[in-house]
Structure 1
Amino acid sequence: MTTHMPPGWYPDPECRIHGNTAARERWWDGNQWTTQTRLAASEAGVHPNQFTPMAPSPQMAESVSGTGARSSRPRSLALVAMGVVIGVALTASATLFFDDADGAKKRASSTPRVSDGGEEETPGPRPGLDSPKPEKEILNPTSGVKLPVLDGWKQGTPNEAGGDVIEFGKESPCRDDKQASCVMGHASIHRSQEDRGKTTMTLKSIASRDLGKFAENTYGGSGVTRKVVKRESLDLMGQDAYRTRWQISDRSETLGFLESVAFASPHEDGSILILRMGSDAASEAPSIEFTELILKRIQEVPRTDRGYEGTTI
């Protein structure tokens, strides 16, 4: 008597041959073994009665035990079909794996850390990756020169270039601009818009040009005359320098004296600095000869004003 086996999943006879009866199951279509296999239900954690798989089509069926009709489709095509199915499954699995891994990374990076006290912690920079680059140190050229405070003079507020300033006397309305305040004696350090190695102008030309601006700002340009009373090259703090002095007068009297000295920065950074000095001709004003003391006592000092280049003139 022959027992008829209904279609279903049964222990794979090939595995039984190799002594591993529980590892894999093969589909029996009611007449013959097919090429469709799966992990045994006990291995995959699935109860055999949870679902009934669709029986393979006759074209996919193929006898393994040697009994029953063999499919007319060549075996190579069946194997290719299986390879395509397996390839698609592996691709889908890999895509899900990497997508999930990428999502986990994003979730980890966006999820704030919580300290022991229960407060959220902001992730700090990663050394070598997120660490901010150190800013380039900028030194103000004018801050490296210090003017001496002479007897009767006072330290003034640094000018718009950040340069040192000394003053003599009380502030009073300026001659040309009554809204502005002037003093009877003044000395200050400025930075020229010209730099050594980048300009064709000489120190003499720079000093003369600046003196014109200095005179215009101090006494105005209308109704006054300018007379050159001193021009010379000199050494200032070990650097080349050139000085020009003017006597400023109106039609009736001398108003004062102004002087500009152009010199290379003692810090040898390529910048050209300008020393402006001036005094009124009034009897209570200091003699213009104070400039000689300034030139003798002016000093190079460490530049401490960082992050500011200074306004040029």
Structure 2
Amino acid sequence: RGPGAPGGGGESQAPEQQVPQTEDGYATDLASGISLPVPDGWTGKSGIAGAGVTTGEYACPGDTAQECVRGGVFSMPAKALKLDTTTAKATATKDISANATESYGEKIYGGITSHQELKSGPVSVAGEQGYLVRWKVVTKSGDDGYVQSLAFPSPRSKDTLIVVRSGFDINTKAPELSVMDDITKGIKAASGTSGPGTTA
């Protein structure tokens, strides 16, 4: 699957072109100019256009040839997801259903039977004003899940929007929902990247 494939509880999605980790404890998305914190016991993958952190790999319930993860958080430029919205709020709101479908959709989890919005609202990310939408989804087979779409301007280029998709299974082996908040709070501008006219 290309960039923008799911993370969360859904199929594992590594960045297409991986690069060496540029900073200990962080996975860096070079195109977006951000770094995601890698919690203890998680795996981080840096990429040229996208980064990801995952934990708890297992064979997907609907297709055991595919690898699913108990928890995953993935970043990518909004344009990579074909999102043409221009504000963080519109982008997060538009992306959440696609994120839910790709993380917990038909093939792997038998489809989503219902969802409930847990939260939506503005949030500060990497010094920028962003917006997040979080759902709880109920699936037909396999675990239910939490999915979140977060959108905010790139610290490097204010007219470039970034989307960070999160997805966690809901079961005793999956990470606590609070970890999703911790990762959101820990996102920062990548070291060594700088905005126009500033020096890193």
1:271 aligns with 2:126: no
- 1:203 is aligned, of 81, 88, 97, to 88
In structure 2, what residue type is equivalent to 1:186? G
1:79 matched residue in structure 2: none
**What TM-score do you get using the length of structure 1 for normalisation?**
0.46
Aligned pairs for 1:235-250 within 5 A: 235-250=124-139
Which amino acid letter does the alignment assign opposite residue 210 of structure 1?
A: D
Separation in 1, partners of 2:63, 2:119: 27
1:200 and 1:282 map into 2 onto residues whose CA distance is 34
Deviations 1:66-95 (A, max 9, x none): xxxxxxxxxxxxxxxxxxxxxxxxxxxxxx
Residue in 2 that maps onto 1:262: 151
Matched, 1:285 2:171: no
Match of 2:22 in 1: none
2:115 corresponds to 1:226: yes
Are 2:67 and 1:165 equivalent residues in the alignment?
no
Where structure 2 has 5 or more consecutive residues not aligned to the other structure, the ranges are 1-28, 195-200
- Counterpart amino acid of 2:72? H
Task: Please state if 1:186 is matched with 2:76.
Answer: no
Give the 3 Å change call, closer, same or farther, for CA 213–276 of structure 1 in structure 2. Answer: same
Number of aligned residue pairs: 158
Cα distance in 2 for partners of 1:225, 1:164 equals: 29
* Alpha-carbon distance in 1 for matches of 2:142, 2:130: 31
* Equivalent of 2:31 in 141, 158, 177: 141
* Higher fraction of strand: 2
Residue of structure 1 in register with 2:98 after alignment: 213
Q: Which protein shows a greater Rg?
A: 1
> Structure 1 residues 200 and 249 mapped into 2: Cα distance closer, same or farther (>3 Å)?
closer
The residue type equivalent to 1:297 in the other structure is G
Q: Aligned letter for 1:174?
A: C
Distance 1:157 1:200 in 2: 26
SS in 2 for 1:268: coil
